[in-house]
Amino acid sequence: MTLKLATLFSRLVLVLAGSLVSMANAQQISRPTSVVQLTGLAGVKDNAKGTLSVESGNLHFVRGKTSSDVSASSIEDVVTGADSQETVGKTVGMLSMAAPYGGGRFLSLFRTKIDTLTIRYRDVDRGLHGAIFTMSAGTADEIKKGLLANGAHATAVEDSNPAALTPSSSSPNKEPKQ
Amino acid sequence: MKRLLPVGISLCMVALLFVACPLLARKSQSTRIKAGAIQVEMIQSDEIKLPAEFQIALYENLIRQLGQQGFQHVYRDGDRNASGITDLVVLHSTVRGFKAGSERARQVTTVSGATSITVHCQFSRPDGTSLLERDVNGKVRFFGGNLKATYDFAKKAARAAHENFSLPDHE
């Protein structure tokens, strides 16, 4: 009798602990990560800089006073990848092209590694959307994990380790998308 | 008299040109296919391994460019609102070729490292009747990141749609 009660009690404790862990996972808030939204997020301009986090079951993008949310449960696919971008880019990089003796071209050899995060999600009318983010290297996986814990889906699990897909650092797939 | 003849011929040629241009334009307009709205399906790349960001950039740029070319109703893949639309055109796109270039190579050498992408575009009715098929390519040769090739493709594909389909508000 005592043994039965003990077994029942231990099962109850296990079930309770399991549900608490899953609830904690669902509510987890990842710290905001600085990102560049390349394209696709509704209501946000292309190449917009902001912060990205996973909050209360949503992928939360903030730029200044405006914010945009995508429900994790509406995300059909999350893919992370590795990339690189110019260390000296934009206007300075462009102007440096005019430097004598190929000085500007020499500068473009210096590149910073970055992560990419690509999501596919459905809106309320079931219309398919896609969004691409770039962020500092090593941060995309944390957001992906946060999204998966909140109900997002991922079709390609192996993509979470970009190095496995692109073994060579000189692979053209690692070139910048911006 | 000898001077008048070339002038007369020139005048006739100019008059003929003025008459022919509107007639030709009308003819090309009449061959356009009626499109009430367009629905863009997700880019397929079963045969060619395409990075996810390229696939999404192709899709999003295509939707944006079609909107800019005058299509007032551009529906996304799976959008419930597209069902029941008369003269709906569905755009299926399949990647046929992809060469991931290198921005670094482009910047250092200028001549090498071009990124190119070839997509087979099929415009059809919802029942599957094919209306137009075309291979469209996108390239980035000198400046810009690799994803710029997707923008180039989207612009060309949207232009092809604009040239071949007549929009209800533009008639």
Domain ranges of chain B: 1-31, 33-170
Average pLDDT over residues A43-67: 92
| Set of chain B residues whose Cβ sits within 8 Å of the Cβ of A118 | 52-53, 56
∠ CA(B125), CA(B167), CA(B129), 5° rounding? Answer: 10
Q: Is the ipTM of this complex over 0.90?
A: no
In total, the C-beta contacts within 8 angstroms joining chain A to chain B are 90
The third-level CATH classification (topology) of the domain covering B33-170 is Rossmann fold (3.40.50)
Average pLDDT over residues A50-56: 93
> Residue B25 above 60 pLDDT?
no
- What are the CA-CA distances from residue B111 to residues A123, B115, B141 (Å)? 42, 12, 8
What does pLDDT average to over chain A? 76
More confident residue, A90 or B62: B62
The third-level CATH classification (topology) of the domain covering A31-166 is PH-domain like (2.30.29)
Greatest mean pLDDT among A53-57, A91-95, B19-23, B113-117 lies in: A53-57
> Residue A134 above 60 pLDDT?
yes
Tens digits of residue pLDDT in B98-119: 988 777 666 666 666 778 899 9
Q: What is the pLDDT of residue B121?
A: 96
Q: What is the pLDDT of residue A89?
A: 56
**Calpha distance A116→A106 (Å, rounded):** 25
Q: What is the pLDDT of residue A162?
A: 42
Tokens, residue A75: 């995300």
* Phi, psi (degrees; rounded to nearest 5) at B107: -75, -35
Average pLDDT over residues A22-47: 78
Let me know: does B158 contact B58? Beta carbons within 8 Å.
no
Q: What is the pLDDT of residue A161?
A: 43
Average pLDDT over residues A103-121: 78
Q: What is the pLDDT of residue A113?
A: 86
- What are the CA-CA distances from residue A88 to residues A26, A93, A105, A174, B107 (Å)? 40, 5, 11, 17, 12
Tell if the pTM clears 0.80, that is, is over it: no
Q: What is the pLDDT of residue B162?
A: 93
Interface of A with B (CB under 8 A): 38-40, 77, 79, 81, 86, 97, 105, 108-109, 111, 116, 118, 120, 122-123, 125-132, 156, 159, 172-173, 175-178
Three-class SS of residue A133? strand
| Set of chain B residues whose Cβ sits within 8 Å of the Cβ of A37 | none
> Residue B49 above 70 pLDDT?
yes
Nearest CA in chain B to A79: B52
> Residue A93 above 90 pLDDT?
no
